Amino acid sequence: MVTLYAEGDLLISRDGAIVTATFNRPQARNALTFGMYERLAMLCQEAASDQGLRAIILTGAGEKAFAAGTDISQFKAFRSGHDGIAYENRMEAVLGPVEKCPVPLIAAIAGACTGGGAAIAACCDLRIASADMRFGFPIARSLGNTLALGNFRRLVALMGPARVKQLIFTARLMEAQEAMAIGLLTEVVPNVADLMPRARALAEQLAGHAPLTMMACKEALRRMHAEGLQADDHDLVMRIYGSEDFREGMDAFLEKRTPRWQGR
């Protein structure tokens, strides 16, 4: 049974082990308010204590946009560079928990995925898009602001520094087939109508796999990109090999049955 929670402009629904969070401002191309950002971060933080949650799908209402960046009205009160520092710190307080979410995040993207929306998509683990997707940060021809280091780090991990420079310098929007070719997207579906059914099918597949294995993969790669040679994985290895799920996996393999994963 699907349970729907309408929380401002972010709609959160749950069907079994899968949560779908929908940016719900289609009249504004799903431009993001601070309230939407902060509720998304809370959702990702709550996932750490939700034993029954196995995957989260992020998407945008309507067919024109996943999310078209931060609502410009949020910037009207800025008076100095200190306001920019405060804004980027506030954004990292959102994007950090999204990136660290222990369950797989699937971005289901139709239309524009720009600015803050593209930053959120870059934090996700898998990105599926309809053929009309356009991804980028056209700030060099619009606001004239900058991305913070955390966003540059995530983008470089996904597409390399040369492509990041080219995308920012030219202020262009990357189309779906190019994004698929460079590995930014994991899949492109022909039509918007196909997008959510495919995202749901993928989420159901992941829901049947070992949650601790996926958590460890996510966290190890995050640490590697963030910390480089200083990254350590001993706690992850200890947790996984000492888990009930690892013992269950071994027993199920030997008994030729499907494992019953518990996430502990």
In sequence order, what DSSP letters do the residues of 40-69 get, joined into one string? HHHHHHHGGG-TT--EEEEEESSSSEEE-S
- Quote the pLDDT of residue 2: 60
Architecture of domain 2-207: Alpha-Beta Complex (3.90)
**One-letter identity of residue 175:** E
Element of type H or E holding 219: helix 211-227
- Give the integer Cα–Cα distance in Å for 117 and 112: 8
The structural domains of the chain, with segments of one domain joined by +, span 2-207, 211-254
- Quote the pLDDT of residue 84: 87
pLDDT < 70 positions in the chain = 1-7
- Give the integer Cα–Cα distance in Å for 188 and 204: 18
In sequence order, what DSSP letters do the residues of 76-128 get, joined into one string? TT--SHHHHHHHHHHHHHHHHHHHH-SS-EEEEE-SEEETHHHHHHHHSSEEE
- Quote the pLDDT of residue 258: 94
Are 56 and 104 in contact by the 8 Å Cβ rule? The answer is yes
The DSSP bridge partners found for residue 109 are: 129
pTM of the shown model: 0.92
55-60 vs 134-136, strand pairing mode: unpaired
The pLDDT tens digits for 159-214 are 999 999 999 999 999 999 999 999 999 999 999 999 999 999 999 999 999 999 99
The DSSP output letter for 30 is T
Instruction: Supply the Cα-derived Rg of the chain in whole angstroms.
Output: 19
- Quote the pLDDT of residue 230: 87
- Give the integer Cα–Cα distance in Å for 39 and 116: 14
The pLDDT tens digits for 86-98 are 989 999 999 999 9
- Quote the pLDDT of residue 226: 83
- Quote the pLDDT of residue 5: 61
Tokens of 124: 């996700």
Q: Count other Cβ atoms within 10 Å, centred on residue 49.
A: 8
Q: Count other Cβ atoms within 10 Å, centred on residue 224.
A: 14
